[in-house]
Amino acid sequence: MAKLCFASPSNIQGENKVKCDVFAHAHVVKGSKQTLRMYIHWLQWRGTNELKILVNEIREIFSLGSVICIVKNVPINDDNVSYLSIAKSFGGELLRDLRMPSRALEADSVIYRVEEDPLNTDEYALSATNAHFPLHTDCAHFLYPAQVMMLLCCQPSMNNDDGKTILIDVDDILTMLTKEQISDLATNQFPWWQGANQQVRAPILTKTDEGRWQIRFNQTTLKREMGDDEFAKASALQSLIRVLKNIEVNPNNSITLASGDLLIVHNQHVLHGRTAFASQSSRLLKRIRIRVPDL
């Protein structure tokens, strides 16, 4: 279904050509009607003195339609100073993750430690396990999900063949769905949260004012809120899940993050997930979510 290739800065033309020290990892997805390229833009951390340049570059990449960046060599042993400086430079709201236990939180609860937690008892908290985590949107149950999701790899899995990060752009997903399925996912109001003080219902697919597709998805959340019977009977939803499963099992759709790699995605345009990894492997990523309405 897909293959990966690489392009140097000199080979990236037009809107995909960027100004700083960067190369693009071109993800070629062959759909039924067309071939799409999803670029992963790789940048280098060059210290806080060039922080503004770095964040402006990421913003520019996002504005041109590419929605995945990886910054290399971000410090992991400076008490989160560099990581937080990047996050704050987006100028948005750093979202706190107060539903998770305090032992998994850092920096006034804006950093969540994505690692296997032997004390975890929440069956829905896949991020606190070593299990496969299907493709999803972060904070899909929020009324307004974060635009930016960041994952800093502090310790990769000891086995390079597991704990890989899976990524897919919404535009690539749409090539694998029918018009009828897309319409159903864009019109049906799905239940994301049914709390005492707030209920969140929204389509899985929406369009921006500029006509770009966005996606809100987490099958674990939907199954919890819909119940097993309603979840199983939702035809378009089940078609989407089948498409995503095919994406997940294809190794060409995953990458291995190294220590110091900072993954930054537009959370409303890209789904991310993870393959399973060996228990007690010390794999650790640190997550920050940022609400940046102008992205």
Task: Quickly count: other Cβ atoms within 10 Å of residue 195's Cβ.
Answer: 8
Q: What is the average per-residue pLDDT within 99-127?
A: 94
Residues 141, 216: Cα–Cα separation, whole Å? 9
Residue 252: per-residue pLDDT: 85
Q: What percent of the chain has pLDDT over 70?
A: 87
The residue range of the domain holding 164 is 2-291
| Total tally of structural domains belonging to the chain | 1
For range 160-166, the mean pLDDT: 91
Q: Token pair of 109, please? A: 């609860």
Q: Taking the model in full, what pTM does it have? A: 0.89
Task: Look at 25 and 253; give whichever has higher pLDDT.
Answer: 253
Residue 26, domain CATH: 3.60.130.10
Residue-level pLDDT at 25: 53
Tell me the pLDDT band of 32, cut-offs 50, 70 and 90. very low
* Average confidence (pLDDT) over 53-81: 95
pLDDT at 28 over 90: no
Query: Is the distance from CB of 89 to CB of 52 less than 8 angstroms?
Result: yes
| 36-48: average pLDDT | 84
Mean pLDDT over 25-34 rounds to 43
